[in-house]
Amino acid sequence: MATPAAPRTIAAPVVEASDRPFWDAAAAGRLLLKRCGDCGRTHFYPRPLCPFCSSDRTEWCEAAGTGTVYTFSVMRRGTPVPYAIAYVTLDEGVTMLTNLVDCDLDAIRIGDRVRVVFKPSDGGPPVPMFTPAR
């Protein structure tokens, strides 16, 4: 039996000054990551200091917005509508905690290819989530 992902209210993210560019880009339909100017590695969530080498030379870069489901769980209890929480590994190598949306929740599989979509939040900027790329 299919479980379609129904629309649900998404709490507004808390926007700090240091991650304002991330949310401004999300409002424009772009997914940003941070890349280190010293070690060259990409990280998520965005931080002022590189989590690998502690450099403060981090810069914003745009992600392709595509990735693979690393793992997921469909939440059915204690929520008005079922939804899928997931870790998605982006093609840039970072892993995001996110939701899988606009799909049959019973058809999701680890390893599925997904692409980013931005869903409105309750009074805040849109939030990046993922949907099957097929």
Q: Which is nearer to Zn ion, 56 or 91 (CB)?
A: 56
Determine the Cα angle at 94 with ends 8 and 54, to 5°. Answer: 120
- For tokens 């099957």, the residue is 132
Q: Which is nearer to Zn ion, 23 or 44 (CB)?
A: 44
Q: Which is nearer to Zn ion, 55 or 95 (CB)?
A: 55
Three-class secondary structure of residue 115 per DSSP = strand
Q: Give the shortest CB-35-to-Zn ion separation in angstroms.
A: 9
Q: Which is nearer to Zn ion, 39 or 133 (CB)?
A: 39
Which string of DSSP letters, residue by residue, matches 42-101? EESS--SS-TTT--S-EEEEE--SEEEEEEEEEE-SSSSS-EEEEEEEETTS-EEEEEE-
Q: Give the shortest CB-68-to-Zn ion separation in angstroms.
A: 24
Q: Give the shortest CB-52-to-Zn ion separation in angstroms.
A: 5
Q: Residue 32 corresponds to which amino acid? A: L
Sites of contact with Zn ion (CB under 5 A): 36, 38-39, 50, 52-53, 55
Q: Give the shortest CB-47-to-Zn ion separation in angstroms.
A: 10
